[in-house]
Structure formats: structure tokens, C-alpha cells
Amino acid sequence: MQLSRSCLIVALGLTTFTAAALAQTAPTKPVKRSVPPQLVALTPPMGWNSWNYFAGKVTDQDIRNAADEIVSSGMKDAGYIYVNIDDTWEGDRDADGVLHTNSKFPDMKALADYVHSKGLKLGIYSSPGPKTCAGFEASLGHEVQDAQLYASWGIDYLKYDLCSYIPEVMYKQAPNDAGARMKLMIGAYDKMHKALAATGRPMVFSLCQYGWDAVWEWGPSVGANLWRATDDIQPDWNSIYTLLNEQQGLAKYAGPGHWNDPDMLEVGNGRLSLAENRTHFSMWAMLAAPLLAGNDLPHMKPEIKAILTNRDVIAIDQDKLGREATHVYSDGEVDVWVRHLAGGATAVAVLNAGSDRTTNHPFHLDLARLGLHGAQKGKDLWTGKDIELTQNMPLEIPSHDILLVRIAQPK
């Protein structure tokens, strides 16, 4: 017989715990792997990726500029280490099947050396199909050769994006069998995982297949350090809020070395307001998401830099326990999420997805629903000031803004 979660709470006599509190204390899933894990991504990877700003226009010089700026802006000191080239670096294969870069990237080894000389790491991108999403040469049939090539260049991170593998392999080989198509996909990721492992070079392995077939259940078994759990992010509030809510229920699948990925950051891109940028960054930290900035670093505004380098918020993301936040409750358009942190601390996020909540009509925070009893001393991570949270306290939160509080000793 299977007990529902609420029956289980009653059966265990956990009357002072909410279901959400129980979910937070539940251990993350044990991970079965096809080859031993590499000790990378023990906390969610942090860095920058070229796609969200440069897309297909990215060049070697853009990557060097990004690396320079990560260092000079203080982002490196705040933890941003990976500089990731996304799609469109690929050229043609020669007669021996060796892949060459295109003219935008004249010398990948020299670029890797440059990035490494800054104390940073270099990431790259490919697909298990014949072509990448942008139509460039990909790894089908050349997985071992490509993994060796990446290792010889000194690559530290691979994003492997399904794309043309869907029509060219999955649908061609199993047009009428969804189960067989999924097996082919998992097999393709496992193949590259083994090829990377065989190089002996530690490389973060990032799966990009948009969350199909409950990737969080099988991703770790094919060596994934992170897996996209959603469709592509866009630099607008609706996209960010939709992707955030799609993470509900996935917390138990994340943990050191293997993370849910709600896609790269759009902080500083598009028409996001400052409040929206803050909320996006706060919630990606609550989700233990990879923090891969995607903005135009050399032209970054000071207020965007301040968001991306907020050490207190980054510390939530990078918390050693590696437990992702859970959504505890919503009241109207206000959502409350809680993340359980190392050393017994707790982070509480109160996000207003609706219109301004002001003094005439504040939001009242129900601490008891978070399993918290009595006044809680904490730090407001955006003002940097001490704050005391009390039962049903009125909160004024502007539209699309957030209150993010770390409580060191929750009661």
C-alpha cells in the first residue's frame, strides 16, 4: 500500500511539520551512474554563456572580452568561473573526421589557454545529432573523436543539445515508438558521457533536451551534472515566471554534482525591470540553478553588476547542502518558497507576481505554514539589513519584486 504524503505525516505524528517542511528534509534521490562520477559541479556551475546575448554572432574576441570582464568586474571573485561558447563555433570535418573551428574561432587551443590564464575555465557546445540547433556540424558518429578534441584543447564543460538528433535519428529509426525514441536519446547522452570520461579530463556535462522524458530521473545515470528542465528562456517576465513554476516538484532530483537547469540567466537582457532582474536572480539561487550569466559583460550597467555579484544571494545558490527550494504556498499572486541550507539555516523568498502590494493592501506572511514558529531574526539579502519576520506580518512588495531573507537559526 502506498501512503499519500499527508497520510504519512499523520501516521508519523508529525503534527508540527507542514508537508513542505517534510519535503525539504527528504533526502535527494540516490544516483546510479554508468561510469564513476567526476568531481565537478559539486555546487551549481557559475559562469557566463554566449547564447543569450550574442547567439550566432559570437566570436573568439567576444569570448576573450567576456573573460576579461568577468575578472575586472569582480564576477570571478564572486564565483563565476566557466566561460561557455554556445552554438556556431563549428567548422567542417577533414578527411579523417577531425572537426575544425570556423573562421570566427581561428584557434580554439589558444583561446582556451587565454581563458585559463585568467584563472577561468572554458566551455563548449555540441549536439548528438548530425547538426547543431543552428545548423552547424555536430557529433553524430564522432563522439569519441570530438571528446578527445575537446580534451586536447583544454575544454572544461560541454553543453550537449538534442536538436537534429530528434528528426534525424529518433524519428527516422523509431517513427511509431515513443519509448524507443526515448531510449535512443538516453543512449546518445550516455555515449558522449562515456567518451568524455574516457578522456580522463574532468568536464562538466550539461544536457540540453528541454526537460523531455523526465530527464531529472535518468540524467545522473548518464553522467549529467545538469540538465535543462525547461524550454528556452526569453528575457521577459512571462518566460522567467513560467520556467520558475515548472521547477515545482523537481527539488528532490537536485544535489551535489547533478542539478536541475531552468536555463541560463537573462539578468541584464531584454526589457526586464530591475525588480524582475532581482527576482530572476534570487529565484535561480533558491532553485540551486546553474548561474550562467548571459548578458553583454563589457557594457554591463552598475545595477546589473550589483545583482550578479550579490554575495549573499550567490551563497544561497552555492550552499553546500545542495537542496533546491520548494514552493510552500501561494496566496493570490504572491508565492512563498523556502530553501533548507547547511548548518540548519533557511532562506525564505516571498515573490509578488501581481501588482504592487503597498501599505493599504500588504501581503501577510504566514510563517506557521513554513514550519516556523514565533519571531525569526534574519537578513534581507537585497537591502543587506537585519529583518525580523513575525507571524502574519504585513509586507509591502512591489510588482514582480521579491523579499529574500536568510534566517541563520530558524525556530
CB of 276 to ligand GAL, least distance (A): 20
- CA atoms of 289 and 256, how far apart (whole Å): 11
Taking CB under 6 A as the rule, which mask of x and - marks residues 14-53 in contact with ligand GAL?
-------------------------------------x--
Taking CB under 6 A as the rule, which mask of x and - marks residues 146-185 in contact with ligand GAL?
---------------x-x----------------------
CB of 93 to ligand GAL, least distance (A): 19
Member of 68, 168, 213, 232 binding ligand GAL (CB under 6 A): 232
- How is residue 258 written as a grid cell? 547533478
CA 11, 12, 17, 19 torsion-angle sign = negative
Residue 31 in contact with residue 258, Cβ under 8 Å? yes
Please report, as a single letter, which amino acid is at residue 148: Q
277: nearest Cα among 245, 249, 313, 251: 313
Bridge partners (DSSP) listed for residue 337 = 327, 349
CB of 306 to ligand GAL, least distance (A): 26
Catalytic, out of 60, 62, 86, 161: 161
Query: Which CB sits closer to ligand GAL, 46 or 208?
Result: 208
Query: Which CB sits closer to ligand GAL, 132 or 247?
Result: 132
Taking CB under 6 A as the rule, which mask of x and - marks residues 51-80 in contact with ligand GAL?
x-----------------------------
**With CB under 6 A as the contact rule, which of the stretches 13-21, 126-134, 291-299, 308-316 interacts with ligand GAL?**
126-134
Q: What DSSP letter does each residue of 114-176 carry, written as one string? A: HHHHTT-EEEEEE-SSSB-TTS-B--TT-HHHHHHHHHHHT--EEEEE-TTHIIIIIIHH-TT
List binders of ligand GAL among 292-311 (CB under 6 A): none
Does 134 sit near ligand GAL (CB under 6 A)?
Answer: yes
Q: What DSSP letter does each residue of 227-274 carry, written as one string? A: EE-SS---SSHHHHHHHHHTTTT-GGG-BTTBEEE-----TTSTT--H
Catalytic, out of 68, 213, 232, 312: 232
Inter-axis angle of helices 274-286 and 237-245, nearest 10: 20
Query: Which CB sits closer to ligand GAL, 21 or 229?
Result: 229
Question: Can you give 264-330 as a three-state secondary structure string?
Answer: CCCCCCCCCCHHHHHHHHHHHHHCCCCEEECCCHHHCCHHHHHHHCCHHHHHHHCCCCCCCCEEEEE
Member of 62, 69, 87, 296 binding ligand GAL (CB under 6 A): 87
CB of 154 to ligand GAL, least distance (A): 21
Q: Which residue is nearest to ligand GAL (CB)?
A: 133
For the question of residue 232 being annotated catalytic, the response is yes
CB of 29 to ligand GAL, least distance (A): 25
Number of residues that bind ligand GAL (CB under 6 A): 10
Residue 397 in contact with residue 276, Cβ under 8 Å? no
CA 140, 145, 151, 152 torsion-angle sign = negative
CB of 329 to ligand GAL, least distance (A): 31
**With CB under 6 A as the contact rule, which of the stretches 27-35, 65-73, 127-135, 328-336 interacts with ligand GAL?**
127-135
CA 265, 220, 257, 202 torsion-angle sign = negative
- CA atoms of 388 and 372, how far apart (whole Å): 12
- CA atoms of 45 and 292, how far apart (whole Å): 7
Query: Which CB sits closer to ligand GAL, 235 or 378?
Result: 235
Member of 60, 62, 69, 86 binding ligand GAL (CB under 6 A): 86
Query: Which CB sits closer to ligand GAL, 120 or 158?
Result: 158
CB of 347 to ligand GAL, least distance (A): 27
For the question of residue 161 being annotated catalytic, the response is yes
- What is the three-class DSSP state of 53? helix
- How is residue 339 written as a grid cell? 530553501
Taking CB under 6 A as the rule, which mask of x and - marks residues 203-222 in contact with ligand GAL?
-----x--------------
Query: Which CB sits closer to ligand GAL, 155 or 338?
Result: 155
Active-site residue set: 161, 232
* Binding region for ligand GAL (CB under 6 A): 51, 86-87, 132-134, 161, 163, 208, 232
